[in-house]
Amino acid sequence: MPEAPENSIPISEFDTPNSEEPRIGVYICHCGGNISDTVNVGEAAGALSGLPNVVVSRDYQFMCSDPGQKLVTDDIKEKGVNRVVVGACSLFLHEQTFRKTVERGGINPYLYYHIGLREQDSWVHHGHPAEATDKAIRMMSAGVAKARLMRPMNNIVLTADKHALVIGGGVAGLRAALSIARCGLRVTLIEKSPFLGGNMARWDHVFPTEDAARDLLHGLIEEVLAEPNITLHTGAEVVSAKGYVGNFELHIRQQRRGMAEDFGAIDEAIAACPVEVVDHFNFGLSKRKAIYKPYPGAYPANPTIDWEHCTKCEACLKVAPKGSIRLHSVPIEFDLKAGAVVVATGFQPYEPAHGELGYGEFPGVVTLPQLERILSHDGPTGGKLQIGDRPVHSMALIHCVGSRQVDGIHAPRPDGRVNDYCSRVCCTASLAAANRIRERFPQVNIFDVYQDIRTYGRGHEEYYTRASKNRVTFFRYLADDGPQVVAAEPGDEHPLLVRVKDHLTWGEEIELPVDLVVLAVGMRPSPVEDLVDMLKLAPGNEGFLLEVHPKLRPVETAVTGVVLAGTAQGPMNIQESCAAAEAAASKVVVLLGRGKAELEPYVAMVDPERCQGSGECVRVCPQEGAIRMETFAENGKTIHRAVVTTANCNGCGICVSACPSRAIDVQGWRLDEFEAMVEAIAGEIPSAVPAGTPVLEAAK
Amino acid sequence: MVSNNLQVDVLVVGGGIAGMQSALDLADQGYRVALVEKNPSVGGKMIGLSKVFPTLDCASCITTPKMSSVAHHENIHLLTYTEVQSMTREGEGFVAQVLKKPRYINEDDCTGCRSCELACPIDLPDMENEFGRTAHRVAYIPFPTAVPQKALIDIDQCVFCGKCIQACPANCIDFSQQPQQIEIRAASVILATGYETTPRDAKKEYGSGKLRNVIDGRMMERLLAPTGPYGRVLRPSDGKQPSSIAYVQCAGSRDLTLGVPYCSRVCCMYAIKQAMLLSGTLPMADITIYYMDIRTFGKGYEQFYQNAKAMGVEFVKGKVARVTEDGDQNPTVRVELIEENRVVERKHDLVVLSTGMLPGTNTETSFGVPISPDGFVSIPRYHIAPTVTAQEGVFATGTATGPMDIVDSIVTSGAAAAETAAYLQSRNIHPAPEQRLTEATAAGTAAGTAATNEEANERSLAYA
């Protein structure tokens, strides 16, 4: 007999039946009608009370409430309940709640099992009460069958790196990094582009305070730079990631800037560069050189070389101090360990299709972000409101371009869906721009073509009233009958016409002659497919990253230790992004502040006595480093046995199905538990026990 | 019995969803928190709601576990039925004088058995939770899921018959109980003082609150809630099941006649949500929402709106000018149908005013923390630090800082916790070490779990 290697948990320990007789408490939640409107909860509780080992079976309006939880803790203390089965909502909502409850009652948190009666029964069988009740009883019986076999377990506690990686150097990433660092954790902030500030750096003034966006942004950046706990890498992105909460391992690739830190001859070098490319900072409205910085006060102050377009002609070398520019473009690569990852990858403005409302077709059709660049003093027109050389006298703003799209009317995205969501910021941003224009260029006429004006936030509504006072003229269109932008007759005073069926004047067809059409484009998530794959995140239908639950865990992802900050999650304005980023920071500090991380113990275990060393488990395991073959000596012979590294195992159970000698089980989800559950579901339905039977205690 | 002196890292004022979330986020980090709530139970306005948008989870299913957590958290000192009277800066921290109002029961001994409630002979209209539609006794527990589950006695209405004293098995009724003055010393403060809704009698155009079948959004929440007064939707005047229900949007928001220029941000969504729930409970009823703009801006909200439209809820653009009633107390809505360019009067069985949010704090009750002209707590660095007030060490969250929905309140409360923790760190105040994790580690090791790769390697080397 080989001695069981100490590095796996001998399965026999877990196979030892509990010395104590199972005394099971069964609790069915009404879920405030969500369950009890369909399932006859009283009947179900009664039926279950007759099952062997069930010592109490109750139904209650809100099991998760304090009085509901008290029923459980009291039964544990007073009736000696040592196994708990709760039938309620999805376990994603309240598994943690009830684990804490039973622990408070004095039993191991894993001696409780949760049945999702709401999602798996009452919601899907609405209108079929008898069948739903029958199903509830079967599901709960399965829970009872499992409960008889459950063993106590402990969470796996790991040392966690008190270090967070923040991905994205826009306002949300900066804000998250600062908040985490100020709570005493180390932070590495990486930004994919060579400069900090993201979309906020491109904005002129921000509602509702009318602060210059850059003043706010630069203030925040200065705070980040002054924070000793933060390490900053621009031009850097994650190329691979593995690990788990407390111990993520990330590989980072960083583009070189190509110039010395104290590089002085910025203007000369930029002037000397012969390469001109489209300036994406100005949304394509201007050109820049292959050595560049996006705007004069950008962070870092040093320009960078755009390696994609640099021809290495060395013209810049001739005007720069010797050695200050190095045309060496091979990126730097390094590894990073982090306990948590904050995804602050932000958004990009919706890019209208060519010809969508004249975009790309007429030079006078621009997007709202482009307008912000035009209005900016360091923008392509130096702050003048003009298209080419033509000053603007009349303009139209069209709302909801790329937002609130309707299936069948708007062209779908490559994934077949339309952007059916509201982008939240465009209404107030459009009206803020309209007011600024009316106040800076009073001769400009503004038409505002909208569906609903959504100036919802604190200080936002004032922009709407001010726009009315500023004599911005409003026209309302309906989504299925939107405006059109067409060329005016040659020789007309204004080159463009906006046609709108105005529902403020009972559907009148109106033509608005304009020089400029501004499309208030919505938000699309930054392209982060690679990161989504690497971190195993879930995008929602809209393409933005998905939170676990909008109220219970609004900034956490399904991957413990990976949290969301800002518009990576969905459209938000700057203030909302900062609030979300700080909430994300809070979660990171809760997770890592102790320097420890806890994992659920649902991991594979090998029974070394049964293991024949086939190696099938290692071949099928999808998790790197979760299971491997070890060599042991037995009676002078060399044998192979599988060994699990619990921290790397995600408990998927594929190894269990592959093992030819049934030597592997997932702790907490053993095959005998499954078998018992299946038998209970498929077997005789327990009949209702007559009312008044002592074990059933009707809850008030 | 609570001690007369408490020293904590953070004082959270307000035990609604925002205050509870901030308290939990800080307590989970290891900071000691005092959570002070003026009502007998935590839970705030949210616990009175039916289901919440956009997930349609029952409000209790989100709120009650958090209520339970704040009551049981080892780092949270919960003080209910307690009002903050003053708060002054002293040195680097704050000293708050709070008054714990007498419940006339001994809180330590009360088990929440409700024997006193059952024995009490006097019924009072439940104004606080049910807007007078149900009754509670003079000795009562505020509502079934209240936290703490402790009775209180409305001493002004009590006739001192002594029935509760006879009934109480814990012998904890005490008519002589006095208010308790407690001094809380805290290094920092979070204001989570919430909001009030537009008074129902605010607008004479909508009947000054006198029309019986004109109710407001929060009352409809109670009618829709499973714990509500009737267990179904009935109109107040005659108990009839309404077959035509109208919502009047912006009834208190975007309305300069009420001095409320701002949008209350939640009313569009709660009206749509209620319309959806009503379509479920009263499938034959016609539901109309009269609106100025539909503002469904949050994640998943626009889709929610479109679903309601698809379900047959009628959306009519037009600001309701007047609500009157006919001889049968049927409310009649006068409105300009903007799309049709005509003014009509339409009769409904029940009208719901989508009342807005008013500040819950004013300059007198904000303890010197500056308030903006809109009445909400002033936030100087509005964009970058959305929870930092003008007073150092004081933070604000939830609807104390302006109208917002539950999702945004919860997110903002996480932000307030982060700012507070950073502030405490800057004052060299660190979280207390935690016991539980240490024990769990010991257990983990004892079970022979190879927690990390390194550890596993180390051990397997020994056996190779």
Predicted confidence (pLDDT) per residue in B384-394, tens digit: 999 999 999 99
Identify the residue among A11, A64, A216 best suited for mutation to test binding to B, counting B beta carbons within 10 A and taking the highest: A64
Please tell me the predicted confidence (pLDDT) of residue A18.
57
Neighboring chain A residues of B317 at a CB cutoff of 8 Å? 476, 503
Single-letter residue type at B415: A
DSSP B243-286: SEEEEETTSSSSBGGGTB-S--SSHHHHHHHHHHHHHHHSTT-E
Q: Do B411 and A67 touch (CB under 8 A)?
A: no
Over chain A (700 residues), the average pLDDT of each successive run of 10 is: 39 50 95 91 95 95 91 96 95 89 95 95 94 96 96 90 97 98 97 97 94 96 97 97 92 93 80 95 94 93 92 90 87 96 98 96 96 93 91 97 95 94 97 97 97 96 96 95 95 96 93 97 96 92 94 92 97 98 97 88 91 94 88 86 87 94 93 94 74 40
B91: left (phi over 0), alpha (psi -120 to 50) or beta: left
Option in A422, A465, A587 nearest B302 (CB): A422
Residue B131 has pLDDT above 80, yes or no: yes
Average pLDDT over residues B61-79: 94
A68 touches chain B (CB under 8 A): yes
ipTM: 0.92
Please tell me the predicted confidence (pLDDT) of residue B129.
87
Neighboring chain A residues of B382 at a CB cutoff of 8 Å? 208-209, 458, 575
Tokens of A216: 């706010």
Q: Which of the pair, B436 or B306, is modelled with greater confidence? A: B306
Tokens of A357: 């409302």
Alpha carbon distance B351, B245 (integer Å): 6
Please tell me the predicted confidence (pLDDT) of residue B227.
85
Q: Do A9 and B226 touch (CB under 8 A)?
A: no
Q: Do A66 and B147 touch (CB under 8 A)?
A: yes
How many beta carbons lie within 10 A of that of residue B415, not counting itself?
A: 31
- Residue whose pair of structure tokens reads 């935590």 in the numeric block: B42
Per-residue pLDDT band for B368 (boundaries 50, 70, 90) equals: confident
Q: Do A157 and B374 touch (CB under 8 A)?
A: no
CA angle A563, A566, A569 (to 5 degrees): 70
Average pLDDT over residues B160-175: 95
Q: Do B412 and A544 touch (CB under 8 A)?
A: no
Helix or strand (DSSP H, E) at A400: strand A394-401
Indicate the SS3 state at residue B78: strand
A152 touches chain B (CB under 8 A): no
Please tell me the predicted confidence (pLDDT) of residue A688.
57
A453 touches chain B (CB under 8 A): yes
Alpha carbon distance A449, A357 (integer Å): 12
Distances (CA, A) of B120 to A486, B26, B123, B130: 77, 40, 8, 20
> CB of B73 within 8 A of CB of B92?
no
* Of A453, A475, A476, residue with least CA distance to A465: A453
**CA distance to partner chain B, nearest, from residue A420 (Å):** 7
Alpha carbon distance A399, A453 (integer Å): 9
Alpha carbon distance B173, A472 (integer Å): 66
Option in A93, A458, A647 nearest B376 (CB): A458
Residue B456 has pLDDT above 70, yes or no: no
B287 contact partners, CB below 8 Å, separation of at least 6:
B244, B245, B246, B247, B275, B278, B279, B312, B313, B314
Residue B451 has pLDDT above 50, yes or no: no
**CA distance to partner chain B, nearest, from residue A311 (Å):** 40
Average pLDDT over residues B399-408: 97
Single-letter residue type at A590: V
Residue of A nearest to B452 (CA): A647
Residue B220 has pLDDT above 90, yes or no: yes
Average pLDDT over residues B320-346: 94
User: Which pTM value belongs to this model?
Assistant: 0.90
Option in A182, A456, A458 nearest B297 (CB): A456
Option in A7, A578, A589 nearest B29 (CB): A589
Identify the residue among A3, A6, A7 best suited for mutation to test binding to B, counting B beta carbons within 10 A and taking the highest: A7
Alpha carbon distance A687, A395 (integer Å): 74
Please tell me the predicted confidence (pLDDT) of residue B78.
97
> CB of A602 within 8 A of CB of A612?
no
Please tell me the predicted confidence (pLDDT) of residue A362.
96
Q: Which of the pair, B367 or B343, is modelled with greater confidence? A: B343
Of the candidate ranges A596-600, B66-70, B346-350, the one whose mean pLDDT is the lowest: A596-600
Neighboring chain B residues of A420 at a CB cutoff of 8 Å? 302-303, 306
Residues 526-585 of A with CB under 8 A from B: 542, 544, 549-552, 554-555, 569-571, 574-576, 578-585
How many beta carbons lie within 10 A of that of residue A546, not counting itself?
A: 18
Alpha carbon distance A381, A204 (integer Å): 13
Please tell me the predicted confidence (pLDDT) of residue A598.
85
Q: Do B413 and A8 touch (CB under 8 A)?
A: no
Neighboring chain A residues of B456 at a CB cutoff of 8 Å? 7, 643, 645
